Chain A
């Protein structure tokens, strides 16, 4: 063991502790306390307000809705794509994986802008579809439009998270199953999917958290006009009208609680099974 005096070595940790404490942990602590802070002391008033306000309940509902729909859709598409990728030739697969990696970096404001170009009111694809008579009008700035964008950015992330698990599926298992008389569907039902299950649930949880935390893309697209948790929180601390940081803190805690609940559910659902990949 190499030596230096422990106190001296620990002094090297101090600057990092100050910055990380001050700009990551302290804000979280402040939010956790602020949520219970009311004019004359402490209380649950902000949570009561959230629970009784149709506006905030709608924000929670819509956040959950868009997260569940886009994560489920994203997971299904990503699973199919991973299946396709494992069957594609080595070279094509490498190109497609590199491309997936690239699209997973395309997020936030640039992504919103690209979708305006493609599917906005005068978007190239919107016009093409309208001309072909496939759609009457398409509104990107609506619930349906947001679902499409969310699903779009969930798919590459899902593919990158699931690929290692698919790589862990042994070719011999399929051969053994087939020797024992199992068809393709039997293989997936009794071997493939059960083996993938922990990874699928883990990926789903990350996708859900990703969707619930999303702010930049929606804000760039519809500003404050679509009622979501992150949009409400940001509006309460940076809007033009009167600010309510304590209510924002309470909503933040609700968000964190939802994320925690999802993680715990996932751990329960996959308990006793090892994660592969």
Chain B
């Protein structure tokens, strides 16, 4: 009887491993191959590379074109993020504390960047800003403004979540009873309490925007070569060098996501299923 239960438990274990191992090995394969390619001397028609080296990574960080593209990406992403925080903070604050109608509207609006494919938005942007009074196509400005729009869901959501946690309305009231003007109360009482939400907003949007390709390619392209455009342009050159680039980029994105996600994790409530 006991042996029977033991065996059944082992069979149960076996079943889920038969699912998990192939799925996660397949998910790991492209990443593992790229990582191995980035640190191997030569990998010809053999199952495993000839030897390991850090030469490609070193060479990458000495390539002026890569460094320039990295710099451009940082400028665009940091500028759009700074702008979106300045613009969205008051909106999130007012929607949360004063105008419930606005909150309803915002809940619908934040979905649009997700619901509409970037290619579709690009069609409109290209026609609106190719010429006319605001000829922004081909300049980093159009990317910065567009990135403010597509970062909205991340920034707005994390700010609202943060505002929910601090009871902003009551804090404002208390600060005003003590004689602070609304602006001063917001800057000196509310803002410092939103640090966590702002941090999450920054890291999540940074990692998302650094990986953005569609707008960068269609609206600006090689006229302002960002990291993704650079990667696209060299994707058919030396596999090892490009692998080093992909791995570097991915590591960068991972660190940002991890910094933004650090404290939250999804854990099933059942510690162990029967």
Q: Which residues does A use to contact B, with CB under 8 Å?
A: 1-4, 9-10, 12-13, 15-16, 19-20, 22-31, 34, 77, 80-81, 83-90, 93-94, 96-103, 105-118, 122-125, 127-128, 131, 152, 155-156, 160, 163-164, 166-167, 171, 174-175, 209, 212-213, 215-216, 219-220, 230, 233-234, 236-238, 245, 248-249, 252, 255-256, 259
User: Looking at A166, A212, A216, which has the most chain B CB atoms within 10 Å of its CB?
Assistant: A216
Question: Would A220 and B47 be within 8 Å (CB), given that A80-B19, A234-B122, A255-B117 are in contact?
Answer: no
Q: Is the CB of B30 within 8 A of A108?
A: no
Write 16 A-B pairs (CB below 8 A) sorted by A numbering.
Answer: A3-B182, A9-B94, A23-B148, A31-B120, A96-B20, A102-B257, A103-B28, A110-B249, A114-B30, A115-B30, A122-B45, A127-B47, A152-B26, A156-B27, A233-B120, A259-B115
Interface locus among B55-63, B64-72, B231-239: B231-239
Question: Would A24 and B149 be within 8 Å (CB), given that A112-B235, A155-B27, A220-B232 are in contact?
Answer: yes
B33 contacts chain A at the CB level, 8 A cutoff:
yes
Given the complex of chains A and B, what is the CA–CA distance between A29 and B272 in angstroms? 51
B224 contacts chain A at the CB level, 8 A cutoff:
no
Task: Report the nearest B residue to A221, measured CB to CB.
Answer: B235
Q: Is the CB of B213 within 8 A of A216?
A: yes
Interface size (B, Cβ < 8 Å)? 95
Q: Is the CB of A84 within 8 A of B16?
A: yes
Apart from A117-B243, A233-B120: 8 A-B pairs, beta carbons within 8 A: A10-B94, A12-B94, A20-B148, A20-B149, A84-B19, A98-B265, A110-B246, A238-B218
Question: Would A30 and B214 be within 8 Å (CB), given that A25-B112, A234-B119 are in contact?
Answer: no
Tell me the chain B residues, 3-35 only, with Cβ under 8 Å from chain A: 12-13, 15-17, 19-20, 23-24, 26-31, 33-34
User: Looking at B117, B221, B243, which has the most chain A CB atoms within 10 Å of its CB?
Assistant: B117
Instruction: Find chain B residues with CB under 8 A from A156 CB.
Output: 27
Given the complex of chains A and B, what is the CA–CA distance between A103 and B27 in angstroms? 7
User: Looking at B15, B27, B152, which has the most chain A CB atoms within 10 Å of its CB?
Assistant: B27
Q: Is the CB of A105 within 8 A of B253?
A: yes
Tell me the chain B residues, 123-144 only, with Cβ under 8 Å from chain A: 123-128, 142
B82 contacts chain A at the CB level, 8 A cutoff:
no
Q: Is the CB of B271 within 8 A of A90?
A: yes
A185 CB to closest chain B CB (Å) equals 13
A166 CB to closest chain B CB (Å) equals 7
Instruction: Find chain A residues with CB under 8 A from B213 CB.
Output: 108-109, 216, 220
A267 CB to closest chain B CB (Å) equals 14
Instruction: Find chain B residues with CB under 8 A from A22 CB.
Output: 128, 145
Instruction: Give the top 4 A-B pairs by smallest Cβ distance, nearest first.
Output: A27-B124, A213-B117, A12-B90, A114-B30
Instruction: Find chain B residues with CB under 8 A from A233 CB.
Output: 119-120, 123
Instruction: Find chain B residues with CB under 8 A from A220 CB.
Output: 213, 232, 235
B267 contacts chain A at the CB level, 8 A cutoff:
yes
